[in-house]
Structure 1
Amino acid sequence: MGKRRLVRLPFGLIGAGIITVVFTTAAIWMSVVDDPHGGEPTATISLDHAVQGVTQHDIGVVGIEPGVMDDLGPSLRAPEKPDPLGPRYASDALEEGTRSNEAVKGLSTKPDQRISETSAHGLLPKVDDTSLRPLDVYARPAENAFSSSPKIAVVVGGVGLNTAWAQTAVDRLPVDVTLAMAPYGTSLELLMQRARSKGHELLLQVPLEPFDFPDNDPGPHTLLVSLPEDEMLDRLNWLMARTTNYVGLINTMGARFTSTGSSLQLFLEELKMRGLMFADNGGSSRSIAAEVAKEVQTPFSGTDVVLDDVPRADAIDAKLLQLEAIARERGVAVASASALPVTIARIEEWARDLEERGLQLVPVSATIDRQDPVR
């Protein structure tokens, strides 16, 4: 009898066939079921009523991401950058919520009687018995959400001299742009109310003596270095009574005045006594306002860049880029400008994506007592 031959099964082919069947079945299942998350944990709920018009394509899986920063210990968190702003010479009576993360839709439009006094010229700002200042009450709260971002303040002056331009500035500029009202403007009370109802912080412009006065005259009641103290203060009171609800004063011209220590000291001491800040418009390289303000502890902010000394779109755009560079280098930068149509248009365009570029627009009161401005 011959030997029986053993038949070998083709196990390799069988294995390949099984794998092919498995992958083919899986592919058919995914193409039919269309569920890329198959195999993940699921939850089933029962609906009391049928939902009409909903298919599997309308249903998705919502991923819940863990809070990465919440899982990090203190040593792994990104260190906070130091605040580039210096001490604010703050009152002990700062109102609750003066600096807030809440969106500000509008600011007060009526003078606060606690910080107002009647004079022969009209209402004047004052510090009340609890040390509450107009600067505290009328300042626009600055957003804290971007506390580590470089900050930029822009002050637009001359608001009120041209009614149409003033309305354009109020309506089109971002609310964190501070507006400086001219004391000679028409309908200042109505303009103040409109600007603050929109959310703009306000300064009042004060005319100070230039070197070529009277050939170059800022206007009636200009403060002159030759004036006796009582007359200078009377002129200042007349100017401050033109409107209300402002956080401080900013100069118009004033190269001689801001370089004369005795007159400047009297002026800044009066502002401190009335609970106001002073902003230097940056028009004179000879100004010693920052030094005198520090000496007498008057809240102060100085201008780094004048945006529209050349009132042309390309020149303004170049100055805005310079402003950004200063802010990134120093943490804070301040600009001054005029309420010209071209200036308003360029600032409006520039500010649209400012936060996306890692910068924060703030009111000028948020830049008080920072590092010395660029000269």
Structure 2
Amino acid sequence: MPADRKKRKGRPGKITKKNPYPNEYDYLRQKTWKGCQCDGECDPDCCPCQKDGKQCGRSCSCPASCRHRIRHTCGCIGKLCDASCSCFKAGYACGGRCGCECGHLHLREFPQTEVRESQTLGAGQGLFAKEEIPKGTIIGLMEGTPIRHGEQSSFNMFDLAADVALECRKEGVYFVNEKKNKDSNAVFKYIESSRRREVVLFAKKRIKKAEELSAQYTSPSATPGCVYPADTGDYILAKPDPDVDELWVGKVTGTKGRKLVQVAWLLRKEDVDRYLPSRIVMKLKEDMRDGELIMTKNWDDEFTRDYIVQTVFVEERKPEGQLHKNTWWWTRTYNKKTKTVRGKY
């Protein structure tokens, strides 16, 4: 899941003789995200894996004879494994003792995809399949640099372990946009590989050629459809009137407690006709560029977080290069009191 301001409640499981690996799949309570460097049999008093309450995995340097090593192998013969493989179901990449042809997870060949303008509102670019992708196929890995993030939260970071996140490179599955689980066609999972703990994208269903890929980024405890609960400065899509099937773009300007947010609205080209004076509409519609929004001043609303559909990315400057209708940005502001527009490209 993306690096989140919320911290997991409770403490890591207690390590006992009867239960030496209480945190085996509780990744965000573990401090390590890659294998130990032990030369011989791992000592529970000094091995970072044992201190974390998990087994030694594919990326550990300890010998294969170490009693703390995972022993899992799959029965797949002569093929590249998918989500149905018992190794992947157990949260591990295939190892050298498996009968498959997987090899190192980060070196395998993935389905062909391409980055182009997304069909999702405000998403900018998205990732599309260039070929049909069968259900269960590994589509790709999230690449980047592991860093300590502390309390920092970002669209560009995926949690790997306690206070450690993957600072993502803008390539490949980075461009997968978010949809709720019930609407998405792919899913992110943690897989322990020979390199490190990986963030892996699997196909949840058969994906057609030219179809856009989507997945939910949030943990089950987070607000569905949001990378993290909207905070001051975040941009959102909201549905302030439950009886009207209409989404508004806004910027969170403040919060009150856990439930209320204050939002300043931004107008898309199709909104300008309906909400601004005709003399301003004529001027704006002549020169509004693709993806441009008009920020508003003295036009704020306050409502509960229940009306927030999702967070979105909006640039506060004109993007470089070719403009797209779904890559949102703004540089001009409409003052509702004075009925004037200020700013320029």
Which of the five TM-score ranges fits, normalised by the shorter chain?
under 0.3
Higher relative contact order structure (alpha carbons within 8 Å, sequence separation ≥ 6): 1
Give the number of the structure whose alpha-carbon radius of gyration is greater: 1
Normalised TM-score (structure 1): 0.24
